[in-house]
Chains A and B, each alone.
Chain A
Amino acid sequence: ELKVEQNPLFLSMQEGKNYTIYCNYSTTSDRLYWYRQDPGKSLESLFVLLSNGAVKQEGRLMASLDTKARLSTLHITAAVHDLSATYFCAVGEGGSEKLVFGKGMKLTVNP
């Protein structure tokens, strides 16, 4: 059974700081997704990672995938208040279209 773990689950950081958050998964997969959710809102797609060593960047966020370690990281550079949200990783279950989601990491960026 595929399990997805995110850590930390809560993060409070100051503007301008850097930080990396982690997503581990338990079985082999060929697809990993990062989503953002603002309070009371739906999920917005951030990144799709399909291969070992894949790296994608958008603004102050950079995501990477290590399929051998079953690990994805989301690196935040010079955080700003607008990045405050909950970030979910989701992993594709092998042989199906199903995604398994982590519990999400709630990020608060303080001035």
Chain B
Amino acid sequence: DGGITQSPKYLFRKEGQNVTLSCEQNLNHDAMYWYRQDPGQGLRLIYYSQIVNDFQKGDIAEGYSVSREKKESFPLTVTSAQKNPTAFYLCASSTLGTAYNEQFFGPGTRLTVL
């Protein structure tokens, strides 16, 4: 089955820790995205990548880092510099160069800072 997987589903972080959220897709999509969702809010873009070994900052990149070493994978690291990381994190992917470029979303990771 084609799709996007994210792990873990729930993640707990202590103050001062870095944590990495996994995102994998087998849709052969070129572009991948990370969003953050806070309660009662829309999605805000953290980082996105259109090609392997290249990525761009979104609107709220501070305190986060990413890598894109493989087309299928786009892990997100939440660093200790992110002061308020408790949120729901969603990964998405899309094709490029088509009219639709529709983004498809993974199931999400819920991060809680203890």
Contact = CB atoms under 8 A, between A and B. Distances in A.
A42 B105 CA distance: 7
Contacts of A90: 43, 103
B42 A99 contact: no
B16 interface: no
A98 B48 contact: yes
A110 to B, nearest CB: 20
Interface string B40-56: 11111100101000000
Contact of B100 (A4, A42, A50, A88): A50
Contacts, number: 52
Interface residues of B, number: 25
Q: How large is the interface on A (under 10, 10 to 19, 20 to 34, 35 or more residues)?
A: 20 to 34
Q: Is the interface of A mostly helix, strand, loop or mixed?
A: strand
B45 A99 contact: yes
B37 to A, nearest CB: 9
A48 interface: yes
Given A42-B90, A42-B108, A99-B45, A92 B102 contact: no
Interface of A: 4, 31, 33, 35, 41-45, 48, 50, 88, 90, 92, 97-99, 101-104
Interface of B: 31, 35, 40-45, 48, 50, 58, 90, 92, 94, 96, 99-108
